[in-house]
Amino acid sequence: MKVLNKIKKGFYADSVALMRVAREISKDGIEASLMIGTPSNKALLKDSGLLAKEGEGARPDDLIIAVKGKHADKALELAESLLITRPSQEKTIASHIDDANFALISVPGEFAAAEARKALARGLHVMMFSDNVPVEEEVALKDLALSKGLLLMGPDCGTALIAGAPIAFANAVPRGSVGIVSASGTGLQEVSTLLARSGQGVSHGIGVGGRDLSEKVGGRMTLAALDLLDKDAGTKRIIVISKPPSAAVAAKIHKKVKGLKKPVTLCLLGAKGSAVRTLEEAAGFKSKKQFKVKAKGSIRGLFCGGTLCAEAGIILADHGLPTKAYELIDLGDDEYTRGRPHPMIEPALRNEHLEKALKEKGVGVVLLDVVIGYGAHADPAGLLAGVLKNFKGKKTLIVGSVTGTESDPQVYSKQVKTLEDAGVIVAESNAQAARIAATAVLPSRIRGTPSPASRPRRSRPRSRSR
């Protein structure tokens, strides 16, 4: 198998743009990745079998175009042509700032903190899409932001809704009176879209980064965001979304909530003292459709969203399923995305796992999520349908849900119809999909009897908390 690398000296492009180029050329047996030449990125390429001799000499300010496959030469030419049509960007935000009050930073982690400081110095709120930023830098940046009365969302913040504007991986939802503070990207997406589909809207959705509620970061931005939303005239109630915070941070949040004027719903998935157990409950969403299905065998969960994976694990455990009865896989975890786009951008990553599950004896239910919206794949349901058509007549039950709205580019109802036409039972929420899977495999004598939650196997969401 031919492996080719091309170095573009001093070239920078947004990481999401690079992933999209890689996706466009990863066809017909071609595997591709475009990365800045940092030591950590070169290690990822080497582990993926994509690093050639030319790429080893790349500097941190160079771009590596790496391709592998029979027609690697043509793929390399295509990648270069796509980059020409999508101009590079300077590695500084200074030349792009005019009258803006908000900066989105999506550069390699080695450069992200410096760019964030420049933005904060100019009085800009900052959203850091970048990951691999040391936690000490995160604390320092958030303290700097707070001293200036600014937001520092992230690092590893992939979703926000600010004054009606969807930023990065977000959905088209109406403005409304519900404010959301979230340490989870897909958590924010799921709750905001469930609110939208129940006739409500979002005032602001503030992402804080997956580590904000850790003991080291101390919930700095979560607490600040709660204050901002409590003072915001357009916000009438607040929802906080997170995986379990540290005990010390949880105590801070509970104390803060008691002192706020507005009602707050805490959805700290799996944590003691959380007001609700699921994202569905946090949104106050009531499913209208009812499903009664049965299946034999275990449940295999294949998720693009790490928080949706975690929510499903809580529900399956609450229904009394032993951990040996299900396996939930977060395909956005580093284990599966090293040198490859995140499955929300390229959900074809899930195809090989889906085919394996459908062929495997003993798997009675496959549980899936489909996340649409800005930044996501143009037709994730279509990719799933393409795999499922080869397994018509298979008795495996396929259950899924779509996180999105009618106003999203992919259109919620079209994605649902594509899945239903392919034989998928489409629930109205991720939580309902997990309940359908649980009750389908449970013996009738214990069906519906909850038990204390236990940790699902292989459900290990990424720090970016997609």
**For residue 113, is it within any domain?**
yes
What is the pLDDT at residue 444?
46
Last residue of a domain, one of 85, 108, 134: 85
Residue 169 domain flag: yes
| Within a domain: 464 | no
Task: List, for residues 151-176, the tens digit of each pLDDT value.
Answer: 999 999 999 999 989 999 999 999 99
Q: What is the bridge-based pairing of β-strands 298-303 and 326-330?
A: parallel
* 307 and 255 belong to one structural domain: no
Domain match, 130 and 265 both = yes
CATH number at residue 385: 3.40.50.261
The pLDDT of residue 72 is 92
| 257 pLDDT higher than 80 | yes
25 and 72 belong to one structural domain: yes
| Residues 227 and 152 reside in one and the same domain | yes
Specify whether 259 is located in the same domain as 168. Answer: yes
Residues 80 and 102 both lie in one domain = no
Compute the distance between CA of residue 348 and CA of residue 431 in angstroms, rounded to an integer: 23
What are the Cα distances from residue 82, in Å, to 32, 50, 76, 117? 13, 20, 10, 32
Angle between helices 135-147 and 109-121 (to 10 degrees): 10
289 lies in a domain?
no
Quickly count helices (H) and strands (E) in the chain.
16, 17
Q: What is the DSSP string of 338-395?
A: TTS--TTT-GGGGHHHHHHHHHSTTEEEEEEEEE-SBTS-S-HHHHHHHHHGGGTT--
Report the chain's mean pLDDT, rounded to a whole number.
88
Is residue 129 within 8 Å of 15, Cβ to Cβ? yes
Buried b (16+ CB within 10 A) or exposed e, 358-385: beeeebbbbbbbbbbbebbbebbbbbbb
Query: Contact 202/227 with Cβ under 8 angstroms?
Result: no
d(CA 449, CA 142): 44
| Whether residues 118 and 138 fall in one domain | yes
Q: Which of 43, 63, 85 is the last residue of a domain?
A: 85
291 falls within a domain = no
pLDDT of 237 reads: 97
d(CA 192, CA 220): 23
Could you say which DSSP state residue 297 is in?
S
Query: Do residue 115 and residue 260 come from a single domain?
Result: yes
Between CA 368 and CA 302 the distance in angstroms is: 5
63 in the same domain as 211: no
Q: Is residue 337 domain-resident?
A: yes
Average pLDDT of the residues in 138-161: 95
Flag whether 173 is in a domain: yes
Task: Please write the tens of the pLDDT for every residue from 204-215.
Answer: 999 999 999 999
Range of the domain at 78: 3-85
DSSP 94: G
**pLDDT per position as a tens digit, 309-351:** 999 999 999 999 999 999 999 998 877 776 667 888 888 889 9
SS3 313: helix
Candidate from 251-255, 267-271, 325-329, 436-440 with smallest mean pLDDT: 267-271
Identify whether residues 47 and 147 lie together within a single domain.
Answer: no
pTM here is 0.82
373 shares a domain with 347: yes
Reported as a pLDDT band with limits 50, 70 and 90, residue 147 is: very high
Structural domain includes residue 250 = yes
Looking at 85, 106, 125, which one is the last position of a domain? Answer: 85
Count: domains in the chain:
3
Task: State mean pLDDT over 47-55.
Answer: 91
Predicted local distance difference test score (pLDDT) of residue 447: 42
| Statement to judge: residues 210 and 168 lie in one domain | yes
Q: How confident is the model at residue 364 (pLDDT cuts 50, 70, 90)?
A: very high
